Structure formats: C-alpha cells, structure tokens
Amino acid sequence: MAETEVHAGSPPPHILGYTIRSPTRIWVSYIVPTCLGLLVYIVQTASDLALSGQYFSQKEPGFGAGTLVLVLLPPLITFLLVAASKQQRDCACSERSKCVALGIGLLKLLLFPFFVIYRFCTRLFWAIEGLFHDDDDVERMKCLAKATETSNIELYLLIQAFAQAAPQIILQLYYMLTQDLFRNYETSAVQALSLVFSAIDLAAITTSYHRIESQRRVGRHYPWATPQQIETHRCHLEQNERLCCEAERKKRESERIITSFPESDKIMENFRARRSLPSSGEATHEMHIHGEDEVDNDALEQLETRALLHSGPRDNATDEEKMQGTRPKLKVRYEDLGDLDTIEVLDSIPETPAPPPPPKTAPPELPVLKPTEDDLPTPDLRRTMSDAEHRKSKRVTRPLSQLETFKDMLLVNAQLYIKENVPHPPKLLMGRVKEEDPEERSILIPQSPKPSPLTPKDVVDFYFPRPTKILNGIQQDDFAGRTVSFFGWIAFITMRMLALSTFCVFYPRAFFILVGVHYALMLGCLALETRCQGSWSRNLFLLLLAYIYIFVLMEFRVCFKSIRLWYGGYLVVTLVENITITSIWYANEEFESWWFGFIWEWIVYSGVLFLATLVVYYCILRPKEVSLIVEDDSPAQEPEEQSVA
C-alpha cells in the first residue's frame, strides 16, 4: 500500500506509477474525459434521432419506432428509479416542495438532452476553473469538488449505455446486413455514426464501472449518490482511519518494548545471579511450622515440623534437569510420632486441590457408620471412635492430616515465591487493551506499515480493540490504464456485437435461444454468488444485471468473492460462443456481399486485439490493491467481504 492516499474516492495522481503535477492531473482526469464524453453523447443522440426520422421518411415505421423508443427509454427508466428511491425523493424535497421537485423531474424527463449537456458543461467549467488556482490548493480542490458533484444525470448515462447503445448496435447491424446493394447511402452514413459512437459510449461506461463495487468499498461512491449517502460513506472511512492509526500506534509501542526486552537466556542468567545459591549440592530454604494436630474429638497435640525447599543443579544442566531441580521437595521430621517411620521426601506436588480440613468436633447428630463384612477395612476419620480404637486411629490420623496441611502450605509458599522473585514479561504484553468510548468506534483507510529495523521476527499484529475484518478493493485506473482498458473493451464489444448480429441474420431463432441460455446461465451464477440474500429490490436488480452480462461483465452492486474466476469464466464462455456462432455461418452460408467476409476478419482481429490489451492491462497497468481493516459488526455475515481483488 502506498504511503499517499490509497482510497478510490478520486482519480489517482499518477500515471504508470509516476506522480504527476496537479494541472496535468486535471487535464487527464477531468477535462479530456469530459470533452470526449460530451462529444460522444451529442453525436450519438443526434445520429439516433436523425436515423429514426430517416426510417420514417423511407416508409419503414417499424425500425423508426424501434430506434426512437430506444432513445426515449433511458430517461423514462431514470425518472422511475429516482421517484421510487426514498433517498432520492428526500434529497430532492429537502430544499423545495414535493410539487416543485416532481415538476423538475418531469422537465428533466422531457428535455433530457439539454440537462445532460448542461451537466457536461458544468463539469468542464469547474475543471478549467481549477487550472487558474495555481497558488491556492484549497480553492483548486473546491473547484474539483464542484466538478465531481453527484447528479441523477450520471445514472441516466449508465442506463443509456445498456438500454440504448447496446440494443441499438444489434438493431442497426441487423438492418444493414439485411439490405441489398441498392440502399440509401445517406441512411447508411447515419447508421455508421450511430454504430461507432454507440460502441464508444458502451466501452466508456464499461471502463468506468466494471470494478466499481471493489472501488466503492475502499472509498469511491456512486456518481448519483445523495449528499447524505456520501457523508455517511465519508464518516465510515474516517472511522476506519482512526481505527487503523490506533492499531498501528499500539503495534509500534509493542515493538519498541519487545525490542528492548532482554532475551530469555539473559533473563535466566540475571535471575540466577540475583538468586545465587550456596555451592553445596543442595540448597535449602527452611520453613518452621507450628500447629495443632487433631488426634481425636477430645484431644489436640502440639507439633512442630520443618519443610525444606531443594534447588537442583545449576551448572551444565539440561532444561529437564533445571525444571526437575526447581521443583520443590519436602522433608518432614516428626519427633513426637514414636515408632512411626519418618517420611523422607515428597518428590512431586499433587495436581488435585487440597481437601478441606476436618472439623474439630464431630456433630452429635451424625450417625455412626458401621462397616459390613463385605466392605474393605478403610479408616473412617470422621466418625466417633472408641477408646480401643484410639491408639490405632492416632497412628492413621496424625501423619495424613499433617501431610495435607504441609502440602497446602507448600503450594501457597511456592506460588508466593514465584510471584515475588521470578521476572515476568511487561504488563503491556499480557494486559488487554482498554475499551474505547462508543463515540470513538471507527473504520478508515489504513496506512502502509513502515518496516522497522528493530522489529523482531516474531512480532504479531494482535492489537485490535474489537473484532475486525479485512475488506479488499482496488484503486481507480490511472490515465494509461483507462486508455488501454477502453480500447480493450472496444475490441471486445466489436467482436461480441458483430458475432451476435450476423448470427441473428442467418439464424434468428437460434439467436434468441442462444441469448436466452446465456441469460439463464448468468442469472444462475448471480444467484449462486449472492445466495439470493438481501432485499427484494436487490434480487430484482439481478434480472437487469444478467441482461447486462449478455454484452459485457461488470462488478456492479454485487461484489464477486472470486474476481479471477468470474472474469476468467466469463471471457471463456463469451469467446467460445463468438467463435462457435461465427464459424457456423461462415462455413455453411453463401454470401451475396463482401460485407460478411469483412465482418469475419473484423471479428478475428478484434478478438486478437482484446487478448493483447488484456495481457498488457493485467501484467502492467492493473491498479493497486487496497486492504482496509474495519470493525466486524456482524460476525454471522457471509464472507462476502473477503473477496480478493
């Protein structure tokens, strides 16, 4: 990740990895695309309207009406979508009444070409205005912000590419290929203009939106989004920036502490130096214990013992010997036990917790338990004993109860000894990060980690205040990437449209079957990708998205989990379709015009050019990937957010 701005909210300030000056960036990212877009829209709309009038004048009302409907369909769809969206309605009615907002919407519907031209001119004006603020970067950025303000016109331009340009290419190619040599060349000239600029418009829109979902997740927003949606998106990005900056700061702090912390062998050397023991084979620490032992319910006996802590070998010892040597051992001497054997060494500490001490006086209401003949002769320490059993129970009770007491005390003493004398890692490595206030919860753009020469190899990024997840996305293409991508999509669209149109001329029924199967396949892939989870409007949009996938592939409102699988599979399917249907009519049909041989050559050349631009784009000009660390507010969510860009 770059150290500079890594999100996809604005065009990148570099070309081929080289940073460009601000005026150059304005020219290549704002002025030139706006001028070309304005030219393409004017020529395309004018040629389609002129072509419709030409059809009506030639007494061909079917083609004339079809061409005119394709021109009027995009503004109508845009008006319905804006009217059906609650956010768009609230934005339109925020500064004016509902009647005025509805009137403006109808006016845009009727006079849509003039509003689109006004949109292009406004963007061009503010981009040029930004060039005159060489010494004032603040004013320049304000001008560029006005040039990129969102508008419903951008939604219309997107719909126009697939509701007007794509079907217009199929319709006009079909008309041209079904005509004989004696045709109206004025109509043919207008058809050529319509075909060329419709293909350019479709390629430009595809270039701009083919990875918009991955870009939107890391900073870019839809060009027709409302100001409230943009503000919410910006707040999420700022929250993520605070989260990542805090995580990076805590990571650097932990790296400094780990780097300055002594190594493990030095820790043990210092520990042995501070706790130097006598040179004898066994060093001892004595514990004098005074207490009372319960002999029976009526008498207590004073007892004094001594516990010895032994240390193991220190020099030239293995790790196992050191661990065995540091294990505490217990020696207990009983002077008052009479003929009892002395218990010498307790080599290990039981892992089971110590049992509670017996009560000093047994309650009188407890029943006396009498063993049966089948029971084993086990001593009962809790029952009332007779005088005959007094001496025998004394031999059993005294050592066992004392051993339990000594074991308990030894465990406590060992815990206190380790706690006070054995060094521990810094508390920062063991403590938890304190919870922040709810107002400080965030998601924003991460900065690239700066490698530190003092960073140890085993440092792990474990400082995250809350559960997080990683979002993968990409930056926007620079000028070189957009140019190569544009020509690649031009070649792909030319190949696809020529193959479909010529196949429709010779086999119209098979053409509709092929398109239907392709549509069903794309719809099934989308349903498998999204699992049909989401609102009904989002699932309904999948029907329109499958229609778009007949012509081109775009990651729009559906974030692909495996982008390489989607693009690779789609390109294989479309290339196989194009080669198959083109080979069928070229090998089996007799041509009455040189046009069909020319179309065959253009299909082959377009496919080769597309593959060449694809290799150049993905090997050299592909935009950088961006990874964001965001808070995971929905742990049960599908792993849709982990798609690899």
Q: Exposure string (b/e) for 355-366, b if CB count within 10 Å is 16 or more?
A: eeeeeeebeeee
How far from 46 is each of 86, 196, 324, CA to CA, in Å? 34, 13, 93
How much is the pLDDT for 240?
74
How much is the pLDDT for 23?
87
The rounded distance, in Å, linking the Cα atoms of 82 and 151 is 11
How much is the pLDDT for 134?
76
Q: How many CB atoms lie within 10 A of CB 553?
A: 19
The domain segmentation of the chain, as residue ranges, is: 1-210, 280-357+391-424, 479-622
How much is the pLDDT for 254?
67
> Rounded mean pLDDT of the chain?
75
Non-local CB neighbours of 420 within 8 Å, separated by 6+ positions: none
448-469 confidence digits (pLDDT tens): 444 444 444 444 444 445 666 7
Find out whether 357 and 397 touch, Cβ atoms under 8 Å.
Answer: no
How much is the pLDDT for 242?
75
Non-local CB neighbours of 168 within 8 Å, separated by 6+ positions: 48, 67, 70, 194, 195, 198
How much is the pLDDT for 91?
84
Q: Tell me the one-letter amino acid at 76.
A: L
Kindly state the tokens that stand for 110.
């009727």
Non-local CB neighbours of 443 within 8 Å, separated by 6+ positions: 236, 237, 239, 240, 243, 628, 629, 630, 631
How much is the pLDDT for 359?
54
The rounded distance, in Å, linking the Cα atoms of 337 and 335 is 6
How much is the pLDDT for 509?
93
SS3 300: strand
Find out whether 31 and 128 touch, Cβ atoms under 8 Å.
Answer: yes
How much is the pLDDT for 613?
95
Non-local CB neighbours of 318 within 8 Å, separated by 6+ positions: none
Burial class (CB in 10 A: 0-12, 13-18, 19+), 307: buried
**Residue that the structure tokens 């508008």 belong to:** 151
Which regions of the chain are under pLDDT 50? 1-6, 279-285, 289, 293-301, 303-305, 307-316, 318-321, 323, 326-334, 336-347, 362-371, 373-386, 389-399, 428-464, 635-645
DSSP 203: H
Q: Give me the torsion for CA of 72, 74, 76, 80, rounded to 10°.
A: 170
Cβ contacts of 138-147, under 8 Å, gap ≥ 24: 140/22, 144/10, 144/26, 144/30, 146/122, 147/30, 147/122, 147/123
Find out whether 409 and 403 touch, Cβ atoms under 8 Å.
Answer: no
The rounded distance, in Å, linking the Cα atoms of 429 and 254 is 7
Q: How many CB atoms lie within 10 A of CB 383?
A: 15
How much is the pLDDT for 394?
46
Q: Dmax of the chain from CA atoms? A: 136
Q: How far apart are the first and last CA of the chain?
A: 13
Bridge partners of 630, per DSSP, are 469
262-285 confidence digits (pLDDT tens): 555 566 676 667 666 554 444 444
**Residue that the structure tokens 């350019």 belong to:** 200
